[in-house]
Structure 1
Amino acid sequence: MPIKQADIDRSINDNLRRCRLYIWRNYNGFGFTVTSESQLPPIITCVESNSPAAAGGLNIQDYVLAVNDTSTADVSHAELVAMVKNARDTDASVELLVLHQDFYRELKKVNRLFDPKRAKIIEAPRIMPINYQTFPKHQPRTCLLRLAKKEKSFGFSIVGSSTSTGLYIDEVCPNSVASNALLRENDRIIEINDEFVDDQQSEAIKKKLVQAKKAGFLKLYVIDMDTYESFRSENIPLSSNEYLHSSSIRKASTYSYNSEHQGNYQHFNVTPGRGRTAGNGRKAQESAGNWKQYSSWKLPDFLPVDSDQLP
């Protein structure tokens, strides 16, 4: 059965985002990395946890279609990087028009024009949110997730490719088992139920998560992006057992959170699916803004996409 035009438009409107980021005085940079690929828009390859980029709705594997009203089809990678660096160095804001890789690839099969004015604006706060400031820094976390009888999902989705190793948390649904356990977007999964999985293929890790969901219990040992890179550069062990017993760690401790105990923590909430509204740490708007019509960018008919949401 053919896909209706209304479904195509709804898919684009829900997932085309304009991420507005600001420099925070107590944070270095915007907190994302962009890489250019041949014949494709630049792609976001890293989003640091608790960063302006995370608060502004950027995801790992987002394609960047435009930066500050300028289509990325019209600029080189060096020019794009210079634009972002200039915004960072002058304490200015930067706006990125993005669409996740999964949707871009599916929608690209049949070309059609899209209107950037209809993109949903997700605006990061101008100062670092309190829950970002108080979040444990440079400490791994153990998140215990248990499903109640009527619960069907842990409430998070994952991101990773079939050819890569390791897996990241892509989205965390508000008021879910995952959010109550203080699992956060862009967390890197290091262990599942005490098994080290960071060096395993993404597809293998996904299968372990599905099995855990069927059992109704999941123990995740995770590290935010900044800590992950710091540990690797300083040769600090990633596994929980080695980390706790490493002589290089003066204070060997991890934070443990249970989904059944929320405490007074302010949760960083997002809505299910890639079309987001704002929670703590970000503000969403439905404004058309001052964006130009980029006729050079086309999107195709909508096809169903496996979003890697746990069943």
Structure 2
Amino acid sequence: MLYAKTPAHEKRRAFRERLATGELLRFPGAFNPLSARLIEQRGFEGVYVSGAVLAADLGLPDIGLTTLSEVAGRGRQIARMTELPAIIDADTGFGEPMNVARTVQELEDAGLAGLHIEDQVNPKRCGHLDGKQVVDEHTALQRIAAAVDARRDPNFLIMARTDIRAVDGLDAAIDRAKALVDAGADAIFPEAMATLAEFEAVRAAVDVPLLANMTEFGKSELFTVDQLRDVGMNIVIWPVSLLRLAMGSAMRGLDELAAEGSLQAKLGEMQHRAELYDLVDYEGYNHFDTGIFNFTISR
């Protein structure tokens, strides 16, 4: 009932322990708190909170228009709804190194298990679009050093994302990843790798957990969990997939409603009322009501 029972610091501790085993953890992207609970119910290991999804939820493109307060607020809503650890996209950290430091503490306070900060020029672009620009190495390392210095819970995961592969190639991405680890990054997110061999090359270069981004319609092939496990990945995200599925279904439903005047034919595709009630724990709320408010007022 209400929110998760596991405190944020316990989620972080358990997450870091599991990450240290070397297994591959699956983090589908939640587009709202209810979908985060569905991810947990379906047996996944964690929840991802995508900056692209947060922007799209506001009707905005993913070009750095969202604010720290918007991201932290939505992250808090999602993280508190599930017992799973949640990792959030912090874009470029929302400013200079001091802003990055505040970003870390705000997202720590919001109950997230970790974040990733990228090395794009601000304002950033979607990681799988052309025309990206990255900052120089010194600036990228400053962002990560500021993030590491600012965290108060040592189990809060500071992940560095590098987008340099699409700009200067794989060798540059490997060099940048090594430097980011030296600056204190707990994990590396090598964005827009083109092949499994490229993921494997990054794996051979650094000895920290690695994240693979399996976003649809992007630069990377949609490799399977088994393929990514075999080349040594530790986290895989599907950042926008649930939003795309939901919006695709909504589009088809609206087309059916416009054409037929009824959604009778779509009932089989909908989440049933009983399934929704189970997901939001109506029974728990009802039990609370009957257990607490079981008295009458004398008149």
The answer to which structure has the higher strand fraction is 1
TM-score by length of 2: 0.23
TM-score, length-scaled by structure 1: 0.23
Q: Which has the larger radius of gyration?
A: 2
Higher RCO (Cα < 8 Å, 6 or more apart): 1
